[in-house]
């Protein structure tokens, strides 16, 4: 099955079916122009095959952009699997998925995403070498990518505070929406830098525990986007900013890990029109995929640190392009990613 998307080449879809193992899903391979298609495996509730195809296509395209902007030698892909309605054997399901990944002979490699964990990657690894996010081995890259994602967001935020707010993070208040794996790690890093925190999470125990640890104020989940803060960091789910939420934002900078924060491209323009600097999620949340890439490509930890801390510089390049072109940062990031893919990875300013 092939689908032509916005003149960016053909997205290939590989439909995955193994009734015995409960496997029902799709791999979308959006681009291999810069290297093997890399993107996690999402295990989620879908009501139809079409819903899976649409989600996989959108996510795979996002991975092409994210990997290109992170200057990784990787293309973009994503696997989407439906959580079966009937009881199932999780290890068997992921082994069956691993056999499907193996059939692509390295054109796609997988890792964790929403709904999957390290144990699932270990099941997949019984069938194919084209998997990352496995337990860390003796100081080499691997394991949970979330701390790296948090580190990259912090690097970007640190730079934005100095350049755009003209003060260090220790003089800033940061509001974090969602304090799970990434948001929780980010809160601790910010606390160690002396930043003041406002936190919100639908998991009230989690947020209360973290607030006690960091001296943070807890906000209502419905209010967090509009609290008084210098920086707003969405670290929960996507779809945060639409015309209504954009109008409520009081922070001058938005910089967080959540994927697909803007409901539409226009919402990035709306933020810019209100004078709010939006750091595109696909630029600032690449720390995790950098760690995953390092594990798969055999880089060492020093290289991971260098590249993750380079998030600030890569973001600055995108913001400079936005300023020069008069585009909102999200649009500047997308056009830079497309150019990079078209030029086979050459670094374009």
Task: Determine the interface stretch with ligand NAI among 176-184, 266-274, 306-314, 317-325 (rule: CB under 6 A).
Answer: 176-184
The 3-state secondary structure of 145-200 reads CHHHHHHHHHHHHHHHHHHHCCCCHHHCEEEEECCCHHHHHHHHHHHHCCCEEEEE
Packed helices 301-309 and 146-164: angle between N→C axes, nearest 10 degrees: 30
The residue among 59 and 125 lying less far from ligand NAI, judged by its C-beta, is 59
Contact 23, 82 (CB under 8 A): no
Phi, psi of 129 (to 5 degrees): -90, -5
Phi-psi group of 264: left, alpha or beta (phi > 0 → left; psi -120 to 50 → alpha; rest → beta) = beta
The single residue among 133, 178, 268, 329 that binds ligand NAI, judged by CB under 6 A, is 178
Select the residue interacting with ligand NAI from 136, 181, 301, 327 (CB under 6 A): 181
Smallest distance, Å, CB 40 to ligand NAI?
9
Q: How far is the CB of 291 from ligand NAI (least distance, A)?
A: 8
Using the rule CB under 6 A, which residue among 146, 245, 311, 330 binds ligand NAI? 146
Give 25 or 147: the residue with its C-beta nearer to ligand NAI.
147
Catalytic residue chosen out of the listed positions 2, 66, 78, 248? 78
Q: Which of 182, 219, 276, 279 touches ligand NAI by CB under 6 A?
A: 182
Contact between 177 and ligand NAI (CB under 6 A)?
yes
The reply to whether 252 belongs to the active site is no
Q: Tokens at residue 153, please?
A: 């967001």
In 3D space, the residue among 86, 84, 62 whose CA is nearest the CA of residue 5 turns out to be: 62
Distance CA(39)–CA(111), nearest Å, equals: 7
Q: Is 32 in the site for ligand NAI (CB under 6 A)?
A: no
Burial of 11 (0-12, 13-18, 19+ CB in 10 A): buried
Residues 277-316 binding ligand NAI (CB under 6 A) are 285, 288
Decide if 234 contacts 261 (C-beta within 8 A): yes
- Among 79, 257, 262, 282, which residue sits at the site for ligand NAI (rule: CB under 6 A)? 257
Instruction: Name the token pair of 206.
Output: 């989690």
216-222's contacts with Cβ under 8 Å and 24+ in sequence apart are 216/187, 216/191, 219/175, 221/177
For ligand NAI, the binding residue among 31, 128, 149, 330 (CB under 6 A) is 149
Q: Cβ of residue 91: shortest distance to ligand NAI, in angstroms?
A: 22
Residue 176 makes contact with ligand NAI by CB under 6 A: no
259 binds ligand NAI (CB under 6 A): yes
Active site residues: 78
Which residues contribute to the site for ligand NAI (CB under 6 A)?
145-146, 149, 177-183, 200-203, 206, 221, 235-238, 257-259, 285, 288
């Amino acid at each position: 099955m092939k689908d032509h998307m916005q003149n960016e080449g053909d997205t290939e879809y590989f439909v995955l079916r193994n009734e015995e193992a409960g496997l029902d899903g799709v791999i979308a391979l959006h681009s291999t122009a810069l290297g093997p298609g890399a993107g996690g495996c999402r295990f989620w509730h879908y009501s139809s095959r079409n819903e899976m195809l649409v989600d996989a296509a959108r996510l795979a395209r996002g991975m092409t952009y994210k990997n290109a902007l992170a200057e990784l030698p990787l293309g973009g892909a994503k696997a989407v699997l439906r959580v079966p309605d009937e009881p199932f054997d999780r290890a068997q399901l992921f082994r069956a998925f691993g056999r499907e990944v193996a059939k692509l002979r390295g054109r796609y490699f997988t890792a964790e995403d929403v709904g999957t964990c390290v144990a699932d990657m270990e099941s997949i690894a019984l069938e194919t070498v084209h998997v990352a996010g496995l337990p860390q081995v003796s100081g080499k890259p691997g394991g949970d990518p979330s701390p790296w994602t948090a580190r990259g967001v912090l690097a970007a935020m640190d730079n934005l505070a100095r350049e755009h707010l003209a003060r260090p993070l220790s003089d800033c208040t940061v509001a974090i929406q969602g304090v799970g794996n990434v948001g929780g790690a980010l809160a601790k890093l910010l606390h160690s830098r002396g930043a003041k925190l406002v936190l919100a999470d639908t998991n009230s125990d989690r947020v209360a525990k973290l607030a006690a640890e960091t001296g943070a104020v807890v906000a209502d989940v419905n209010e967090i986007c509009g609290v008084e803060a210098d920086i707003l960091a969405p670290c929960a789910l996507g779809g945060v900013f639409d015309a209504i939420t954009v109008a409520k934002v009081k922070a001058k900078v938005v910089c967080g890990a959540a994927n697909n924060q803007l409901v539409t491209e226009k919402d990035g323009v709306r933020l810019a029109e209100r004078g709010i600097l939006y750091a595109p999620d696909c630029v600032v949340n690449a720390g995790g995929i950098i760690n995953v890439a390092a594990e798969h490509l055999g880089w060492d930890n020093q290289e991971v640190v260098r590249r993750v801390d380079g998030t600030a510089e890569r973001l600055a390049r995108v913001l400079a392009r936005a300023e020069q072109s008069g585009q909102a940062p999200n649009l500047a990031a997308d056009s830079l990613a497309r150019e990079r893919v078209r030029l086979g990875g050459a670094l374009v300013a």
